[in-house]
Amino acid sequence: MKRLTNALRRTAAIAAKEVQHILRDPSTLYLAFGMPVVLIVLFGYGVSFDLDHAPLAVLDQDGTAQSRDLARSLTATREFEIVATPADAEGIERLFRSREASAALVISSGFAEHLRRGQEAPVQVLLDGSDGTMAQAVLGSATQLVAATIGTPPIEATATLLYNPALRSAVFFVPGLIAYVMAIAAVLLTALTVAREWERGNLELLFTTPVGRLEIVLGKLAPYLGLGLLQALLVLSVGTALFDVPIRGDLVLLFFAALLFLVGMLGQGLLISAVTRSQQLATQVGAISSLLPTLILSGFLFPIENMPWPLQVLANIFPARYFIDALRGILLKGAGLGVLWPDLAGMAAFAVFVLAVATLKFKRGVA
């Protein structure tokens, strides 16, 4: 009992010292609170797959009232803007090359006639495929609009979108973004501050005292965990307020998911610092190992299901995918523990593993 009290007391001394460091160093506070907001705003407004006045060329070979109605209907939602009305197909190609238009609507002659007889009316949508994401967005939107106008759908399958009916990018992005900024800040903060202590010999001095490895690790972790949770709250508030992201699920569950994710990320930072023992190296390894998995191996930008199997295996190791999955589930679908427990388990497994290795690596063996 007395041993435990002593251990707790020493851990508290380490945590208290860490808080003093954090409060004294403005760059820590910027990294924790300034950078995430900057990133969220940049990403939220800058990265968008939503169509906004996409330049459209219209080639109307029919020249009837119906064909003009169709062309006009595409511009009604402001997703498209008619920038040119070329006389022939070559005109369209010229517009694509000069990047004046990224989509073209071709209404062949006889459109109104076919429509009157109740036959399939020939309408063609041409896309500049050099920008794949843009082309997909245009295709989806144009088919929908054309179908709505003509009444008889030119495509057979109809899809109904759930959870994000307007398919707004922000709704999809914000959960990923939250995971992204939390990962970077948590890994970099711990990797940097602890590597600095290795460099300066602070840890060496600490190792000559009766303080144990686990006490050091826990004492360091606790303040940054608090900082990370505050950051999660900030990022979530900014994300939901600026981009109208709904919170349909349980906030307590969200808190626990964030906690598990943070412990894993902080452990990763500790491990990096213990292995590299230099600030410069720790920064590089920390940035890459937090940035790439959350950006690429997480389902944030690219669906994991479409990756080759070695990358899928990697994606299953890094906790980012579980956290993003949990965030999307809780925020957008209102999913509960019954559905999300595998995500929580995945994050917990990573956290336990990485903390155990980091504690072992925190050896006294100073060269």
Partner 1 sequence: MSDAITVTALGRTFGDFHAVRDVTFDVRRGEIFGYLGANGAGKSTTIRILCGLLAPTSGRAVVADADVARDPEAVKRRIGYMSQKFSLYPDLTVRENLDFFGGAYGLYGRRLREKIDAVLAEVGLTAQRDATTGSLPGGWQQRVALGNSLLHDPDILFLDEPTAGVDPASRREFLALVRRRARAGATVFLTTHYLDEAEYCERIGLMAAGRLVALGTSAELKARHVPGRVLLARTTRPAELRAALAPRPDVLAAQTWGSGVRLRVRPELSPSALASLVTALDATASLEPAEASLDDVFAAVTTGAA
User: Please, which residue, 12 or 83, has the CB nearer to partner 1?
Assistant: 12
Least Å distance, CB 12 to partner 1, is 7
User: Please, which residue, 9 or 116, has the CB nearer to partner 1?
Assistant: 9
Q: For the chain, state the CA radius of gyration.
A: 27
DSSP H helices in 47-131: 65-75, 89-97, 111-117
Least Å distance, CB 329 to partner 1, is 42
- Parallel, antiparallel or unpaired: strands 123-127 and 103-107: antiparallel
User: Please, which residue, 148 or 205, has the CB nearer to partner 1?
Assistant: 205
State which of residues 78, 97, 99, 364 lies at the interface with partner 1 (CB under 8 A).
364
Least Å distance, CB 33 to partner 1, is 19
- 130 burial level (CB within 10 Å; 0-12, 13-18, 19+): exposed
State which of residues 159, 161, 241, 367 lies at the interface with partner 1 (CB under 8 A).
367
User: Please, which residue, 78 or 364, has the CB nearer to partner 1?
Assistant: 364
User: Please, which residue, 10 or 277, has the CB nearer to partner 1?
Assistant: 10
User: Please, which residue, 219 or 293, has the CB nearer to partner 1?
Assistant: 219
DSSP H helices in the chain: 2-24, 26-29, 35-46, 65-75, 89-97, 111-117, 132-150, 169-200, 202-207, 213-243, 251-276, 279-296, 309-317, 320-328, 337-361
Task: Please give the C-alpha separations between residue 20 and each of 17, 24, 28, 202, 229, in angstroms, as whole numbers.
Answer: 5, 6, 11, 15, 18
* Torsion angle defined by CA atoms of residues 260, 261, 265 and 271, in that order, rounded to the nearest 10 degrees: 40
Query: Token pair for residue 100?
Result: 């004046």
| Binding letters toward partner 1, positions 3-42, x by CB under 8 A | ---x--xx-xxx-xx--xx--xx-----------------
C-alpha span between 52 and 141 (Å, rounded): 11
Least Å distance, CB 194 to partner 1, is 13
End-to-end CA distance of the chain: 35
Residues of this chain, 202-241, that bind partner 1 according to CB under 8 A:
202, 204-211
Least Å distance, CB 7 to partner 1, is 9
Residues of this chain, 170-209, that bind partner 1 according to CB under 8 A:
200-202, 204-209
Least Å distance, CB 181 to partner 1, is 26
**Paired strand residues for 84:** 57
Residues in contact with partner 1 by the rule CB under 8 A: 6, 9-10, 12-14, 16-17, 20-21, 24-25, 200-202, 204-211, 364-367
